[in-house]
Every structure is written in C-alpha cells, then in structure tokens.
Structure 1
Amino acid sequence: MRLNNSKKAKFFYFLSSLILMTLFLGAAFFVLEQYRFYILGWKSVLLIIIPALLALIFIFSGRQIFEYDSDGEALNFRNRNVLTFFNKPVRDEFPKYKLLQYEFVNILIFKRLYITISSKKNNLIILKYDVSYLTGKELKDLKFSLSKVIKANQEREKNS
C-alpha cells in the first residue's frame, strides 16, 4: 500500500508563506504603531503575538509531507517539511519482518507515529514520524497496513 500526501505540498507552502508574511507585516505594523501612529496603545503587542503563535503552531505540528510504501519486501517511510530550513527530512527503509509494533500519539496540536523495529543485535529501535497533517482516512489506512504487516510477522514466527 502506498500513502502519500505530497499533493498537498503547494497548499502547505502557501500556508507557511502566508504565516511568515503575516509575522513580518505584524512586526512592521508594530514598529510603525510604536514610533509613529499611537492608535492601538498596548493592544499593538497582539500584532506580533498572534502571528508568532500561528508560526509556532505550524512549526511544532511537525513535518508536513509523509510518504509510506509497503509494496514489496520493505517498508519505506519518508517525512519532510515543505520549507527545508526548519529541520532535515527523515527517510527510513527496512524489511517488513523487522517491524515489531507501532503506536500513534495524539497530543493537542500534533500527532506522531512511533515505529519499533528490531536490529541485527536484537536491540529495539524506535523511529518517529510526524503524521499531524494526514487526514482521518489516511491515518486509518496507515493503521490497517501496519497492523497487517505485524499480523503477518506474528504468523511467520508462529510457523517457525
């Protein structure tokens, strides 16, 4: 199964550009208000606070683009930002039989996917992906696909 929300990249790029422009314009209007107009008084601080809060929510919601591919013998995960200067992209590929479990964590403004895999030395490795920008249907499909892989792994272990 393939899951890919990169078609929304243009929308996320527009949204991030809009938030950054609002932040810069708010700062400019704040400076003008403080040194030239004196209309809003103490409320002029909101010209900076509101756009800054929007920018922080957008940044802390995580990487916008999530790609998943379970076709073949390997699982491929790719997670990246639309604006590359926030943080580097995450890309992982591993065989299906190494997948042990997964967990979705939903905390207010962001959702995370934690994947637990086994390594060569039987250590556990936890991989983290941001899935905040996936729709409900996409999350449901992802859960179904990962559950299917785990079930196949458990059957394989039973038969061995």
Structure 2
Amino acid sequence: MTLHHLILIFHLIAATIWVGGHLLLSICYLPEALKKKDPQIILHFERKFEKLGMSSLFVLICSGIWMAYDFGVSYQTWFSFSGGFEKVISIKLLLLFLTFIFALCAQLYFIPKLNPNNIKNMAFVIISVTTIGVAMLVLGSTLRYGGI
C-alpha cells in the first residue's frame, strides 16, 4: 500500500462522516424540525455532530491538499482549470470556500438566533452544505479517470 493510498483511505472515511452526517441531518432530522417548527432538533444534532464533523472536515482539507500535490497540482496551478485534475481540485476548493461561508453564516447569524420563525433559513443552509458535500464527493470520484 502506498502513502497516497493510505491518505485516500483517510480522505474517504472523513468524507463518509462529513457527507453522511449532513445527509442524515437533511433527510432525517430537518424534515421533523420543520414539521414541528422545533429548532432544538437541529441544535441537538449540531451539538452532537460538531466535533466529529469538524474533525472530519479538517482531515478532508489536509488529505485533499496532500493528494492534490501527489497528482502534481500545487497551489501555483490552483484555479488554472488547465487540465482534468486542476479543474476538479479548483472546483472543490471553490465549493470548500462556499461551505466556509455557509458555516460562518450559520455560526454567527442563524444558530444563535434560531427559533421557530426563522428555521427555514437554517434549512436552506443545511440543504446547501449537504448538496455541496455530495457535489464534492462526485467530483472527487472523477479523479480516478483523470478529472473532468
């Protein structure tokens, strides 16, 4: 087993936790919270998932950058969109940035003021971050074939 393969395994486990957690939140907890207009359902999940989810995101970022360098895509070619690998990595970095924006908005604006009247705003953030996570997973899967 090569070091790249080992890093890929850690990346895939972290992606499973990150994307799986957001899918669980979006599919199981969010509909109930919206139906009952109960923000505590979301807040309870967020409190339980945050440490594991954020640790997974950290592993994803570190392992993703490591593997990008293994593929010959250094920071100098990020956002060059010059080849298949560069396109995928650049798009994933843009989506990561968008995820950070959503997370910042959630932590600073939505979660502290979450109540039955604004729960739909948080639902938008949850669904957006989940969709971004799935998109990043799909994009990552294309690297096996040279990217897009």
Asked whether the two chains share a fold, i.e. TM above 0.5, the reply is no
TM-score range, shorter chain: 0.3 to 0.5
Q: Tell me: higher relative CO, structure 1 or 2? Use CA pairs within 8 A at least 6 residues apart.
A: 2
TM-score when scaled to structure 2? 0.36
Structure having the larger proportion of residues in helix? 2
Structure having the larger proportion of residues in strand? 1
